[in-house]
Amino acid sequence: MKPGPLATLLHPFMSGGLEPPGKGRRALFLGAEPSFRLPEGFDAELHLVQGFRVHFRALEAAGYRVTSRIDGEDFDLALVLADRHRGQNEAWIALAIERTLPGGPIVVAGSTDDGIASLRKRTETLVRLDGHLPKYHGAAFWFRRPDDAAPVIEAMRPSASSVDGRFATAPGMFSHDRIDAGSRLLVECLPESAKGVAADFGAGWGYLASVLAEKTVGLKAIDLYEADYESLEAAKTNLANFANVPEFGFFWLDLVGEKVERKYDLIVMNPPFHHSRAAEPGIGQAMIRAASVALKPGGRLLMVANRGLPYEQALRAGFKDAQELRNEGGFRVIAARR
């Protein structure tokens, strides 16, 4: 495997640009991902923050202390692993500054393809950088937490965002600035009546579940399953105004790697098909299999997918029948019966 942003992030400590922190020091690591290798002499106590359930579980299994949100303050240094979501990266830098002691180093790194150069330029308009090091098709830069950090934090922290004036969202969530076209097409096919209990697999910030609750009469409960912790927290806010009809359940869960315990009469989903820039249809295929297992006999799946993704075999294997309800705008809506 070729080195990537994780190696880029830690390279300043290997190259002599920064001294590795020794024992007795505390390091905050925002956006931590599995399989990183600490350089020799990096003996600080690590506090990892990762809201993506897949990475969270892998880090936890490796024995690291990891939380879905920051737990603690007054860290001696901070690491920020940037991704392609600019607003989220800036929010993480603001959090790193907020929770790090004055003078503590803050190191940020990411891929060239994900815009690390523009993030560096944005940061250095607010604080003086101590170093910049390109490496492994990416770059790292670092600076010291200023004594007067409040103006920098305020400038970096994104303002609150919403969709259609009613859904709370934040950068880094799927389609955080609009209702995506696939979900819009799917809600046009939601049933007006259904009995029992439903689930939204890959619920995001709660759009499909909210429309299902508004449109469908007869459901007792709707459970939301989502691998991104912050998206699920936003969904709780976005569904808080429903008067307990239906009842909502919220599950931070990796549908590919963790078992769904409850059985459902109806499942709706707009499955993701990538975690990075490359298409990964295996995610959607695994979610189709998970839906088949989680449905009661005779239960229904309603899903939307990008046209051309290879889901037919998974549908045939897990369902008695499947039919295409809509095919437009690059998306297909599929109904399947268990």
Q: What is the model's pLDDT at position 280? A: 73
Same fold: 5-156 with 161-337:
yes
Per-domain residue ranges of the chain:
5-156, 161-337
Q: Rounded to whole angstroms, how far apart are CA atoms 198 and 189? A: 15
Q: Rounded to whole angstroms, how far apart are CA atoms 30 and 143? A: 16
Written as six digits, the tokens of 286 are 């695994």
Q: What is the model's pLDDT at position 53? A: 97
Give residue-wise pLDDT tens across range 143-163.
999 999 999 999 999 888 899
Residue in 168, 172, 163, 175 with CA at minimum distance from that of residue 86 = 172
In CATH, what number does 5-156 get? 3.40.50.150
Give residue-wise pLDDT tens across range 159-197.
888 999 899 999 999 999 999 999 999 999 999 999 999
Q: What is the residue type of 18?
A: L
* Complete edge-to-edge strand list for the sheet that includes strand 247-252: 247-252, 217-226, 193-201, 264-269, 295-306, 331-337, 321-328
12-18 contact pairs (CB < 8 A, 24+): 12/107, 12/131, 12/133, 12/140, 12/142, 13/39, 13/41, 13/42, 14/39, 15/133, 17/131, 17/133, 17/142, 18/105, 18/107, 18/131, 18/142
Instruction: Report which DSSP code applies to 116.
Output: H
Q: Are 20 and 40 in contact (CB under 8 A)?
A: yes
Summarize the confidence of residues 231-236 as an average pLDDT.
Answer: 97
Average model confidence (pLDDT) across the chain? 94
Residue in 47, 88, 89 with CA at minimum distance from that of residue 68 = 47
Q: Give residue 1's pLDDT band: very low, low, confident or very high (50, 70, 90).
A: very low
Give phi and psi for 30, each to the nearest 5. -90, 130
Give residue-wise pLDDT tens across range 259-301.
999 999 999 999 986 555 455 789 999 999 999 999 999 999 9
161-337: CATH topology? Rossmann fold (3.40.50)
Give residue-wise pLDDT tens across range 290-320.
999 999 999 999 999 998 889 999 999 999 9
